[in-house]
Chains A and B, each alone.
Chain A
Amino acid sequence: MSEELTARQRVEKREQYSQWINRSVGFGVLSFFVATALWMLTDRAVVLFAGLGLYWLGCLGMAVGYWQSPVSVGDELEQRMEREASQTTFLFVTVVAILGLPADVVLSTTGVYTAPAAVRGALWGYLLLILVFGAVHWFVKRQYE
């Protein structure tokens, strides 16, 4: 379908779907905050659940926007910026995990220092993220072979 669009239509579609995605996310987040505020006033759990439902609805709207858009929602410069930001983030995660995990194991095993549960959870979460990356990278690599 994207091949049939003119350059102008591509820009218009991109703007149209970006707007839909932003509004969906905005609606979801705002609904959740409003529901939380109402819950504080009313102390009724159903209000919180309603807020959560609306938040998920907003997330669903965002996903639908990405799936249904006939063009990539970000143009090539935006994709490049996302890629660079992702690479930097992943570098941070990798360095922290590589240095931090062995240190955590050694320090906690010897009883010298036990990091707070949140920090240990983050470190092991980073390791899981690296493993997920490895699996996805393997999958993507197969498509180029």
Chain B
Amino acid sequence: MKNEIDTYRERAGLSQGELATAVGVSRQTINAVERERYDPSLALAFKLAAYFDCRVEALFEPDLEPVGE
């Protein structure tokens, strides 16, 4: 899943470690999310959105298949 975590993080002047501590995960987790190797849990996605004071949709752009018949 594409995301804008690194953009928001750098805009806030934070290191990966500082952001990780702020949302309660390891630095490796933030690194993996930023490199789009790991899709975070819903809880972490909401924590990140709350931390950056934005909507989840602003941070993540899911590759969704069309819904419906």
- Which residues of A are interface residues toward B (Cβ below 8 A)? 6-8, 10-11, 14, 75-78, 80
Q: Is the CB of A77 within 8 A of B23?
A: no
- Which residues on the B side are within 8 Å of A80 (C-beta)? 38
B29 touches A77 (CB 8 A): yes
Residue of B nearest to A79 (CB): B41
* Shortest Cβ distance from B33 into A: residue: A77
Majority DSSP secondary structure for residues of B touching A: helix
Contact assessment for B38 and A8 in the assembled complex, using a CB-CB cutoff below 8 Å? no
With A75-B25, A77-B28, A77-B32 known to touch, is A11 a contact of B20 (CB < 8 Å)? yes
Contact check, B32 vs A10: say whether CB atoms are below 8 A apart.
no
Q: A8-B22, A75-B24, A76-B44 are in contact. List 18 more A-B contacts (CB 8 A).
A: A7-B21, A7-B23, A7-B24, A7-B47, A8-B21, A10-B24, A11-B24, A11-B25, A14-B26, A75-B25, A76-B25, A76-B29, A76-B40, A77-B25, A77-B26, A77-B38, A78-B29, A80-B38
